[in-house]
C-alpha cells in the first residue's frame, strides 16, 4: 500500500472513494495543485501544450488534470531548464494538476536505435540523433525536476502480439524497474539530492501493471507492483492492437487485484465507448490522444456517433456539429463553416474541432460521475453505447471513419 507523504513537504496525495455503482467508482483525489474528480479524462499535453488548445479553454470546459510527456520535455526544452523555471506548472502556466508519463512509451515508439538492457534504455533522439540513457532512476529524477503531481514508473513496453515467454520476461523486468523507481523516489523524498532540483515535493508515484494479454502474468504483475507500494496503479500495455474484448477482460481481471482504496489509471485508452466500458470495470483515470488527434484530422465525436467533417454532405449544413453539445464550437459555428476551414487548411479548424472533441470527452466523464452518484450508471451505460454507435456518417451505408489510435 502507498505510504503517506512527509507532512513537512507539500500536501498529501489523498484518494477518497465517494460512491460505487456496480464496479464503477466515484472518487476524488487531492494533489498539491488541487482536486481531481474521478472517473477523470486527462487531455494529452505532449510538449507542455494540449495541441491546438489554450489552457484557458481547457479550464473552461472542465479539464481538471492534463498529461505531459516526459520524453518530449526531457529532449526539448530539457528537464533542468524547466526545474530552473520553477517546474512544469509554472513554466507552462497551468495551475491545475498534471501527470507525467515516464518517457518509456516514446522511447519504445519514437526514438531511434534503442537498446534495452537491465540497466535501462539507451536511445537516440528522434529530433537530432543525440544519444541518451533512460534508466528507472533517471525517469524518476526527470519527473521530479518537472514537478508533475503524479509521476509514473519506467516500464518496458511490449510489442503486440508477444509470446507468453516474452511477455513474462518483460513484465518481470518492469517489476524490477518499478522497485528501483520507488527506491529512488523515497531517496529523493528523504534526502534532497544536490543533482536533482525537486519542483514538487508532494509528487505522487504510480506503479504500472504489465503482462500483455495473459491473465496469469497480469495477476503476477499486479501483486508484485502492489507489494512495492505506490499511491496509485496504472494498467499499461493495452490499446496496442489487441481485440477490444481482450482489453476489457484484462482491465476487469486486473482492477479486481488492485487495492480498492487507491486510484486506477488505464493508460492510453480510448474511445468514448472504452471510457464507459472501463469505468464499468473499475477504472478511475484515462488519457488518450484520440479526441485531440482525430479533431485535427476532421473526425468529431458526437452524442450520436462519429462525424467526419470532410464529408461533402456537410458543405452547406447549417447545423452544429452536435446539437446536444454546448461548447463554443457548437454554439457559434455550422458544420458547413467547419468543413470549409478544414478544406482550406486553416489552423482554426484544428482549434475548433479540438475544443469540441475534448468537451465531448469531458462532458461524458461528467455524465458518468453523475450517473454513479445517482446509482443509474448501468442505465446510462446502455443508453450511451446505443447512441454513440449510431454513426451519423454511415447513414448511406458507408463508414467514412476509422480510428487511428
| Active site amino acids | 101, 287
How near is the Cβ of 329 to Zn ion at its closest, in Å?
A: 5
No. of helices (H) and no. of strands (E), the chain? 15, 16
How near is the Cβ of 253 to Zn ion at its closest, in Å?
A: 36
How near is the Cβ of 356 to Zn ion at its closest, in Å?
A: 4
Nearer to Zn ion, 138 or 356 (CB): 356
Question: Is 330 a residue that touches Zn ion (CB under 5 A)?
Answer: yes
Candidates 25, 356, 369, 381; binder of Zn ion (CB under 5 A) is 356
Extract the C-alpha cell encoding 56.
484557458
Residues 6+ apart with CB under 8 A from 167: 158, 210, 211, 212, 213, 214, 217
Question: Is 351 a residue that touches Zn ion (CB under 5 A)?
Answer: no
CA distance linking residue 219 with residue 154, whole number of Å: 19
Piece of the chain touching Zn ion by CB under 5 A; list 182-190, 274-282, 350-358, 390-398: 350-358
Question: Is 335 a residue that touches Zn ion (CB under 5 A)?
Answer: no
Nearer to Zn ion, 100 or 354 (CB): 354
Nearer to Zn ion, 326 or 379 (CB): 326
Contact 271, 37 (CB under 8 A): no
Angle at 302 between CA 331 and CA 322, to 5 degrees: 25
Residues 6+ apart with CB under 8 A from 131: 122, 123, 124, 125
Piece of the chain touching Zn ion by CB under 5 A; list 151-159, 196-204, 215-223, 317-325: 317-325
Among candidate residues 287, 112, 140, 142, the one with its CA nearest the CA of residue 207: 140
User: At 135, phi and psi to the nearest 5?
Assistant: -105, 170
How near is the Cβ of 355 to Zn ion at its closest, in Å?
A: 7
Site map for Zn ion, 71-110, x if CB under 5 A?
----------------------------------------
Piece of the chain touching Zn ion by CB under 5 A; list 79-87, 121-129, 305-313, 348-356: 348-356
CA distance linking residue 233 with residue 348, whole number of Å: 37
Q: Please, which of residues 148-177 interact with Zn ion by CB under 5 A? A: none
Candidates 185, 228, 325, 362; binder of Zn ion (CB under 5 A) is 325
Nearer to Zn ion, 52 or 330 (CB): 330
Question: Is 327 a residue that touches Zn ion (CB under 5 A)?
Answer: yes
CA distance linking residue 344 with residue 316, whole number of Å: 15
Alpha-carbon torsion angle 196, 201, 204, 207, nearest 10: 20
Binding site for Zn ion (CB under 5 A): 325, 327, 329-330, 356
Amino acid at each position: 500500500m502507498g505510504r503517506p507523504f512527509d507532512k513537512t513537504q507539500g500536501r498529501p496525495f489523498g484518494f477518497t472513494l465517494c460512491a460505487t455503482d456496480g464496479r464503477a467508482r466515484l472518487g476524488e483525489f487531492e494533489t498539491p495543485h488541487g482536486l481531481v474528480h474521478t472517473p477523470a479524462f486527462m487531455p494529452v499535453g505532449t510538449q507542455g501544450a494540449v495541441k491546438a488548445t489554450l489552457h484557458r479553454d481547457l479550464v473552461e470546459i472542465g479539464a481538471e488534470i492534463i498529461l505531459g510527456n516526459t520524453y518530449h520535455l526531457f529532449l526539448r526544452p530539457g528537464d533542468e531548464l524547466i526545474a530552473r523555471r520553477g517546474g512544469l506548472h509554472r513554466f507552462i502556466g497551468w495551475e491545475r494538476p498534471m501527470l507525467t508519463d515516464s518517457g518509456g512509451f516514446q522511447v519504445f515508439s519514437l526514438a531511434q536505435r534503442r537498446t534495452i538492457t537491465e540497466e535501462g534504455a539507451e536511445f537516440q533522439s528522434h529530433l537530432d540523433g543525440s544519444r541518451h540513457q533512460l534508466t528507472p532512476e533517471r525517469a524518476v529524477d526527470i519527473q521530479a525536476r518537472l514537478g508533475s503531481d503524479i509521476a509514473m514508473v519506467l516500464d518496458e513496453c511490449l510489442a503486440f502480439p508477444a509470446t507468453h515467454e516474452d511477455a513474462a520476461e518483460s513484465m518481470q523486468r518492469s517489476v524490477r524497474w518499478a522497485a528501483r523507481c520507488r527506491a529512488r523516489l523515497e531517496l529523493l523524498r528523504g534526502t534532497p539530492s544536490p543533482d536533482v532540483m525537486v519542483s514538487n515535493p508532494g509528487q505522487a508515484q504510480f506503479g504500472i501493471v504489465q503482462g500483455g494479454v495473459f491473465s496469469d502474468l497480469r495477476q503476477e504483475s499486479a501483486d508484485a507492483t502492489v507489494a512495492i507500494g505506490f499511491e496509485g496503479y496504472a494498467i499499461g500495455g493495452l490499446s496496442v492492437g489487441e481485440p477490444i474484448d481482450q482489453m476489457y477482460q484484462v482491465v476487469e481481471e486486473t482492477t479486481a487485484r488492485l487495492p480498492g482504496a487507491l486510484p486506477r489509471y488505464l493508460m492510453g485508452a480510448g474511445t468514448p465507448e472504452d471510457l464507459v466500458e472501463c469505468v464499468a470495470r473499475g477504472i478511475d483515470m484515462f488519457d488518450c490522444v484520440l479526441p485531440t488527434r482525430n479533431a485535427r484530422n476532421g473526425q468529431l465525436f458526437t452524442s450520436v456517433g462519429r462525424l467526419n467533417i470532410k464529408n461533402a454532405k456537410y458543405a452547406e449544413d447549417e447545423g452544429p456539429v452536435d446539437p446536444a453539445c454546448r461548447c463554443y464550437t457548437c454554439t457559434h459555428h455550422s458544420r458547413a463553416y467547419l468543413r470549409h476551414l478544414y478544406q482550406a487548411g486553416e489552423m482554426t479548424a484544428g482549434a475548433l474541432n479540438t475544443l469540441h472533441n475534448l468537451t465531448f470527452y469531458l462532458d461524458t466523464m461528467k455524465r458518468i460521475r453523475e450517473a454513479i452518484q445517482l446509482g443509474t450508471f448501468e442505465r446510462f451505460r446502455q443508453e450511451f453505447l446505443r447512441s454513440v454507435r449510431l454513426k451519423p456518417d454511415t447513414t448511406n451505408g458507408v463508414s467514412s471513419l476509422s480510428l487511428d489510435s
